[in-house]
């Protein structure tokens, strides 16, 4: 049965998650370590290619998060006035920034410090490293409740898990009545483990994110991750990644993505891109259904204070617009995204993830990679988590770009 049928039909939601998970794992390749010697695989060109692309995706998200953190949740015109054009990592200072250093944001003022997006992405990585497949929303919720350090989480995301913990709702159904928005930049581990298999990545994230997401945001997020997984395929391009996102999208998600892409295609400068995204593609109120009506653009009103938008109907189309506008250039892609205001770190993280999976770690300036790795070692070893995740992908036998090689 079609995945989106399950997303659309609330009455069959829990059954749908079970069937998706069972189907995905029933068709999973037998563990690759049963077929070939792991050392041989890890010395192959296919593995080196995979690891490089995974590093591009994983570090790209962390880099964009750390760069986008200081100027996030403000209007792009205020960013122009108070920050100028942001060209790299900044210290966290208030003013000119809007956020307050502490749990749920960045923990340090040091340039290169990550925010809650990367902390939660690290917990998603640890979930995979410590839980055996099949991976389900139930397993994820209970792993986080037992093991995650929620002091580093966005508090809204924790509320859904507490409802599961209290027995008020199942993990599979928690997202239907949860506040929508936020959490779009946590899911790179799914595409890394399913590199080269957009459908598997899409199905898996659609199942897991049920803890927080109603149908539309599940649909949008699964398409974002499908695009990441597609980017790993040899011969992929910016256009083919965008097409993978659109091909995976339901009716409303596709319209939202296409609206933002049309704006990006016509933009001749970042300022023109921002002006038209703010005028035509900001979203405050939107249906939770995958075939709901196209939302009217939110009116752009300049404010001095916080000015963020966390709805996926805005965030993820903007990320795809910046990815298209950047046209494969790392600085143009990431710097345009982080300077655009609104939820700039989360938006930029997915634009950077598509780009990193497409071109590999070398697409990022070494200084950027080293800065984000070293600035956050007190809390996490980003490189170490990535290496373990890549090894898991090989052991699980889910990495299509390796399975399709004759090693």
Residue set of the binding site for Mg(2+): 115-117, 343, 345-346
Residue 34: partners with Cβ closer than 8 Å, 6 or more residues away: none
> Binding site membership: which residues?
115-117, 343, 345-346
Distances in Å between the Cα of 285 and the Cα atoms of 54, 178, 282, 320 are 35, 15, 10, 20
Alpha carbon separation from 170 to 14, 135, 159, 210, 290 (Å, rounded): 9, 15, 13, 10, 22
Residue 156 near residue 190 (C-beta atoms within 8 A): no
CB atoms within 10 A of CB 129: 13
**Please, are residues 79 and 71 in contact by the beta-carbon 8 Å criterion?**
yes
Q: Is the peptide bond before 237 cis (omega within 30 degrees of 0)?
A: no
Question: How far is 15 from 118, CA to CA, in rounded Å?
Answer: 31
Q: How far is CA 90 from the centre of its chain?
A: 22
DSSP H stretches of helix in 232-365: 238-248, 251-266, 270-280, 312-326, 330-338, 344-359
Structure tokens at 40: 């041989």
Q: For 74, which DSSP code?
A: S
Separation CA 16–CA 136 (nearest Å): 12
Q: Which residues of 235-265 are buried (b: 16+ CB within 10 A; e: fewer)?
A: ebebeebbebbbebbbebbbebbebbbebbe
Whether the Cβ atoms of residue 357 and residue 323 lie closer than 8 Å to each other: no
How many residues would you count in the chain?
407
Query: How many angstroms separate the CA atoms of 337 and 341, rounded?
Result: 8
> Residue 187 and residue 174: Cα distance in Å, rounded?
18
């Amino acid at each position: 049965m079609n995945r989106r049928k399950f997303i659309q039909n609330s009455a069959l939601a829990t059954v749908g998650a079970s069937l998706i998970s069972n189907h995905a794992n029933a068709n999973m390749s037998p563990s690759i370590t049963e077929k070939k010697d792991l050392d041989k695989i890890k010395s192959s060109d296919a593995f080196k290619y995979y690891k490089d692309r995974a590093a591009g995706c994983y570090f790209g998200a962390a880099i964009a998060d750390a760069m986008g953190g200081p100027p996030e949740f403000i209007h792009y015109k205020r960013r122009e006035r108070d920050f100028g054009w942001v060209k790299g990592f900044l210290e966290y200072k208030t003013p000119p920034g809007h956020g307050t250093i502490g749990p749920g944001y960045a923990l340090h003022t040091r340039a290169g410090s990550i925010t809650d997006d990367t902390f939660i992405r690290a917990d998603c990585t640890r979930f995979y490293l410590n839980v055996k497949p099949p991976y389900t929303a139930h397993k994820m919720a209970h792993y986080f409740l037992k093991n995650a350090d929620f002091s580093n989480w966005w508090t809204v995301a924790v509320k859904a898990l507490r409802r599961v913990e209290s027995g008020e709702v199942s993990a599979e159904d928690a997202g239907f009545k949860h506040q929508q928005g936020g959490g779009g930049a946590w899911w790179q581990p799914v595409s890394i483990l399913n590199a080269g298999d957009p459908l598997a990545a899409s199905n898996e994230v659609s199942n897991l994110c049920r803890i927080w997401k109603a149908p539309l945001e599940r649909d949008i997020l699964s398409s974002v991750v499908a695009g990441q997984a597609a980017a790993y395929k040899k011969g992929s391009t910016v256009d083919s990644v965008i097409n993978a996102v659109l091909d995976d999208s339901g009716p409303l998600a596709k319209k939202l993505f296409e609206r933002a892409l049309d704006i990006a295609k016509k933009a001749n400068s970042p300022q023109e891109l921002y002006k038209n995204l703010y005028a035509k593609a900001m979203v405050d109120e939107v249906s939770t259904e995958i075939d709901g009506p196209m939302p009217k653009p939110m009116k752009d009103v300049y404010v001095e204070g916080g000015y963020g938008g966390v709805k996926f109907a805005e965030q993820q189309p903007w990320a795809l617009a910046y990815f298209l506008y950047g046209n494969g250039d790392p600085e143009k892609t990431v710097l345009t995204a982080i300077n655009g205001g609104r939820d700039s770190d989360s938006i930029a993280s997915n634009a950077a993830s598509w780009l990193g999976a497409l071109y590999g770690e070398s697409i990022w300036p070494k200084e950027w990679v080293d800065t984000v790795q070293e600035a956050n070692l007190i809390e996490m070893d980003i490189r170490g988590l990535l290496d373990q995740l890549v090894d898991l992908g090989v052991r699980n036998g889910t990495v299509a770009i390796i399975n399709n090689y004759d090693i």
